[in-house]
Structure 1
Amino acid sequence: MRSPLVRGLVGSVVVAFASLVTSVVPPSSWVASFPITSDLRATLPGRMVGLSFMVAGLGLLAWAWLSTGRQVLAGQRPPLLRMATYWSLPLLLIPPLFSRDAWSYAAQGALVAEGFDPYAVGPGALSGHIIEAVDPMWMQTPAPYGPLPLAYGGLMAKLTMDPYVLMLAHRLLAVVGVILIAWAVPRLATACRVDPVFATWLVVANPMLLTHGIGAAHNDMLMLGLACSAFALALTGHWGTAAVLAGVAAAVKLPGGLVAIAIAAVMSPLAGRMQRVASLAIAGALSVLSLVTVGALTGVGSGWLGALDVPGLVRSPFSIANLVGGATSGILGWLGEDTAAEQSLQIIRLAGMLLAVTVIAVLSLRSSIHYAARAVGIALLTIVLLGPTAHDWYFLWCLPFLAVARPGRRVTTAITAISLIFTIAAPLNSSLRGATIPILTTTALVLVIVAPLLNRARTLLAAPRPTVGV
């Protein structure tokens, strides 16, 4: 497997077969009764075999990505889009990787199809096969997503109530998002005077994007693809269309609307502060109007704004506000201040969001066209780190924007290291909650594979980067 394309394809195939053992699936689906893998799924040793192959496959995919990066940094031009396509193909029909969110998407679409308000009730209002694989944590919670994916899910659910087919329909949205990212990133990179081949390698061929985006079928990919496309359109002078598209991105998940920062910078590249405020107001108004229009046209409405706190039910360790709030709450509880302990987490989360809003406001007013991509990337990263919760795939939000913002060696190294860790360690997610032996074993496997890959990344990025002349 000297060829990175072949090595990555083999790794992706291994991941696909391992998912038949490790992924949560409805007991009524074909995967649950698939020969051999169904027997492995039924026992702890069998599941550990599946986890071992999963981590090994992810390691091969990450190794292939780093080897391709070595070619790019040496000035070569490997067929990155073809490679990313081949690496993605084995992931198209498999069960969702690392997360059960796609099963929630299917159930929420069924709620729409059955006439329920998905912003008032959770999947628990349904019965039957459609909710078999939904995480119990989300069974009674309303949908925190925008009207676009819910309306699409409702349309698909009117055609079939098979949860597996509906999951695949939502994966199609993720694929569309990745295609939009692949279209926009080289254009953004060229406009920002970054080598488009380098940016495409860092973003589009990134195993974290492929496995978490396509493999896990997260609707974050559609949000991100629309946001990147909006920025690319703004750079061609179509900032009005770009602002409308930013509103459509927000209609998937609200953070997508932050691309309006870049659109405003494009509208008034040499303007003073008051002109920038006016540009932000115009771009923001068009985006909000687009968002409200999508809710009205789909019939889903805007009730999702009241459910934005639902993801905060998970106390993610990636959120700084969660870490500080959890530590403060634990100390106060140990001191016997139970009431203060209960309130401290919420107070610190609120402080984190206020700080995030302040940072975004400053970025909105001070970003120029040359630093617009960086401003959006930092704004999204701020939301992830200071927000009430953060999952590993949330870091994909800022990836395209930081990758085209003339990243230095330190930023590139950080992006590469985070991508490797969040790819290889992805099986250590909520689906392993409470499973001590799988967690310890998988952690050991991750450490064994991640360490040499990180060392390879360090030597890789020590080489000089190619530049692009524009």
Structure 2
Amino acid sequence: MRVPSPLIRGLVGSCIVAATSLVTSVVPPSSWVASLPIASDMRHSLPGRMTALAFMVFGLGLLVWAWLSVGREVLAGVRHRLIPLTVIWSAPLLLMPPLFSRDAWSYAAQGALVAKGFDPYSVGPGVLSGRVIEAVDPMWMATPAPYGPLPLAYGGLVARLTLDPYVLMLAHRALALLGIVLIAWAVPRLAVACRVDPNVATWLVVANPVLITHGLGAAHNDVLMLGLACSAFAVALTGRWGTAAVIAGVAAAVKAPGGLVVIAIAAVMSPLAGRARARLASLCIAGAVSVLTLVTIGELTGVGSGWLSALDVPGLVKSPLSIANLIGMGTSGVLEWLGADTAAEQALQIVRLLGILTALGLIAVLGLRSHIHQAARAVGIALLAVVLLGPTAHDWYFLWCLPFLAVARPGRRLTTALVGVSLILTIAAPLNSSLRGAAVPILVTTSLVIVVVGTLLGHLRTLQPAKPSKPTQPASATPTTV
């Protein structure tokens, strides 16, 4: 039996994911999805939800398998039309409910707050009523928005036209789509500048199933932040560092970590290593332009800069993907077991603070010491440090560092690691907050994920072509010097 081409496998997998999202995704009860004949019946029964989850994992497995098959050929030097391929794999998800996360419904409600004249940095969606808050996670109903002024102002504009939460969600997915377009434009240019095969970088980043499912499918505004950050670096490499610094400020106006691309911009401004004063001056200038842009956006949109006081909101989630959280929760558990309840309550906050300080110290070192040839890697490591050492981390945060590490001349080990993490985060995506407290679905889905991940991990061994062995020279041969 002939195996379908990767394009067909990926498309079928994406269609399965799209179809099952009609059952597995949390949607407003007033939306059209909630009243679909078959999907609504499956949604309200445990066997129906479990069937949909099983097919969801299977569809994700097909998509990842197709991506790995294309990658094996790309890494071997075969040229692929990766942008059309990504478009085909992404198309089935464009109008579907948000995958794996309820954040897009929070975006919709926060836009409604702006449209209604509320300060989204002072109050949460709970002050609203009606269908716009039907699908918002109860955990975030009373919390202010931790996002920059740009997506909030945009959400407010759309909310003045309609308060239909599904339409508002699609509007934010359009922002994610714009982010992917920017990434697809910037990554090949960064790869060429960094002397990396642009075809390999495009496969590793743009066609990555994490970007397709978590980025576009979940409609996270992180994708727009990332697209702007990548574009800022690409523009800086053309010599227009002032424009690049402005774009970096726009990226920070979506989410604060986007501003870390100023590390790369400063490296372009003072490309020689070892000149700390010149690099510090470049960082100050690029940083000042970015901050000025950020403040200006806040004032022009009328949203302001109150979001800086709400940056600790994501820390309410004690994610195990954050090293600081793992150490803090472990320390807190031990102290609680020993009877030191007061110390146990403080342990997590202290460890989180140490993690943030460590990340800031690493960012300072990278900003002052990394020269132009290490700029991409420096930004990638800085963003990775924010994810792993910050107060919280979600699986889609991996996207923050992916483009920069992908163009930083990754060797076999780093490439394999990036592919392996992408594989796991894609297949394990259904184990999200929508399964919170549902013991049976969690156990069954975890078992399915382990089986699929275990099957696909075997493909990593043969993903990259083996390096040709060097011929052994005879003992009498005289080495040639260049």
> Which TM-score tier does this pair reach, normalised by the shorter chain?
over 0.9
Give the structure 2 partner of residue 443 of structure 1.
Answer: 446
CA offsets per residue over residues 25-58 of structure 1, 9 Å max, x none? 0000000011201110010000001101100000
Separation in structure 2 between the aligned mates of residue 358 and residue 221 of structure 1, nearest angstrom? 26
CA offsets per residue over residues 232-273 of structure 1, 9 Å max, x none? 000000100000000000000000000000000000102611
Separation in structure 2 between the aligned mates of residue 70 and residue 276 of structure 1, nearest angstrom? 40
Separation in structure 2 between the aligned mates of residue 247 and residue 212 of structure 1, nearest angstrom? 24
Letter in 1 for 2:430: P
Give the structure 1 partner of residue 96 of structure 2.
Answer: 94
TM-score normalised according to structure 2 size: 0.96
- Residue 321 of structure 2: which of 303, 318, 330 is its match? 318
1:250-329 pair list within 5 angstroms: 250-270=252-272, 272-329=275-332
Question: Is 2:412 the partner of 1:400?
Answer: no
- Residue 183 of structure 1: which of 182, 185, 192 is its match? 185
After TM superposition, give the deviation of residue 75 of structure 1 in Å. Answer: 1.2
CA offsets per residue over residues 73-103 of structure 1, 9 Å max, x none? 2211111000000001000000000000000
Give the structure 1 partner of residue 476 of structure 2.
Answer: none
Question: Is 2:391 the partner of 1:388?
Answer: yes
Separation in structure 2 between the aligned mates of residue 443 and residue 218 of structure 1, nearest angstrom? 24
Give the structure 2 partner of residue 421 of structure 1.
Answer: 424
The answer as to whether partners of 1:250 and 1:291 remain within 8 angstroms in 2 is yes
Give the structure 1 partner of residue 457 of structure 2.
Answer: 454
The percent of aligned pairs where both chains have the same amino acid is 77
Closer/same/farther in 2, CA of residues 105 and 320 from structure 1, 3 Å limit: same
Closer/same/farther in 2, CA of residues 444 and 462 from structure 1, 3 Å limit: farther
Separation in structure 2 between the aligned mates of residue 347 and residue 371 of structure 1, nearest angstrom? 32
The answer as to whether partners of 1:73 and 1:463 remain within 8 angstroms in 2 is no
| Rg larger in structure | 2
Separation in structure 2 between the aligned mates of residue 341 and residue 448 of structure 1, nearest angstrom? 37
CA offsets per residue over residues 148-197 of structure 1, 9 Å max, x none? 00000000000000000000000000000000000000000000000000
Separation in structure 1 between the aligned mates of residue 467 and residue 167 of structure 2, nearest angstrom? 47
The answer as to whether partners of 2:76 and 2:465 remain within 8 angstroms in 1 is no
1:30-429 pair list within 5 angstroms: 30-270=32-272, 272-429=275-432
After TM superposition, give the deviation of residue 71 of structure 1 in Å. Answer: 1.2
After TM superposition, give the deviation of residue 462 of structure 1 in Å. Answer: 4.8
After TM superposition, give the deviation of residue 463 of structure 1 in Å. Answer: 3.5
After TM superposition, give the deviation of residue 2 of structure 1 in Å. Answer: 2.1
Q: Secondary structure at the match of 1:449?
A: helix
The answer as to whether partners of 1:247 and 1:257 remain within 8 angstroms in 2 is yes
Closer/same/farther in 2, CA of residues 40 and 187 from structure 1, 3 Å limit: same
The answer as to whether partners of 2:76 and 2:464 remain within 8 angstroms in 1 is no
**Structure 1 segments of 4 or more deviating over 3 A?**
462-465
Separation in structure 2 between the aligned mates of residue 19 and residue 2 of structure 1, nearest angstrom? 24
Letter in 2 for 1:336: G
Q: Secondary structure at the match of 2:393?
A: coil
CA offsets per residue over residues 366-423 of structure 1, 9 Å max, x none? 1111000000000000000000000000010000000000001111011000000000
Separation in structure 1 between the aligned mates of residue 240 and residue 37 of structure 2, nearest angstrom? 53
The answer as to whether partners of 1:177 and 1:224 remain within 8 angstroms in 2 is yes
Give the structure 1 partner of residue 473 of structure 2.
Answer: none
CA offsets per residue over residues 121-143 of structure 1, 9 Å max, x none? 00000000000000000000000
Letter in 2 for 1:256: G
Separation in structure 2 between the aligned mates of residue 333 and residue 154 of structure 1, nearest angstrom? 45
Letter in 1 for 2:61: G
Give the structure 2 partner of residue 468 of structure 1.
Answer: none
Q: Secondary structure at the match of 1:97?
A: coil
**RMSD of aligned C-alpha atoms?**
0.9
The answer as to whether partners of 1:318 and 1:392 remain within 8 angstroms in 2 is yes
Separation in structure 2 between the aligned mates of residue 94 and residue 364 of structure 1, nearest angstrom? 41
Separation in structure 2 between the aligned mates of residue 44 and residue 326 of structure 1, nearest angstrom? 32
After TM superposition, give the deviation of residue 430 of structure 1 in Å. Answer: 1.1
Separation in structure 2 between the aligned mates of residue 414 and residue 195 of structure 1, nearest angstrom? 18
Equivalent residue pairs, number: 465
After TM superposition, give the deviation of residue 464 of structure 1 in Å. Answer: 4.7
Separation in structure 2 between the aligned mates of residue 233 and residue 75 of structure 1, nearest angstrom? 28
The answer as to whether partners of 1:263 and 1:283 remain within 8 angstroms in 2 is yes
Separation in structure 2 between the aligned mates of residue 37 and residue 461 of structure 1, nearest angstrom? 41
Separation in structure 1 between the aligned mates of residue 75 and residue 333 of structure 2, nearest angstrom? 47
Letter in 2 for 1:372: A
Separation in structure 1 between the aligned mates of residue 444 and residue 413 of structure 2, nearest angstrom? 32
After TM superposition, give the deviation of residue 447 of structure 1 in Å. Answer: 1.0
Question: Is 2:435 the partner of 1:432?
Answer: yes
Separation in structure 1 between the aligned mates of residue 403 and residue 75 of structure 2, nearest angstrom? 18
After TM superposition, give the deviation of residue 459 of structure 1 in Å. Answer: 1.5
* Structure 2 unaligned spans of 5+: 469-482
The answer as to whether partners of 2:187 and 2:202 remain within 8 angstroms in 1 is yes
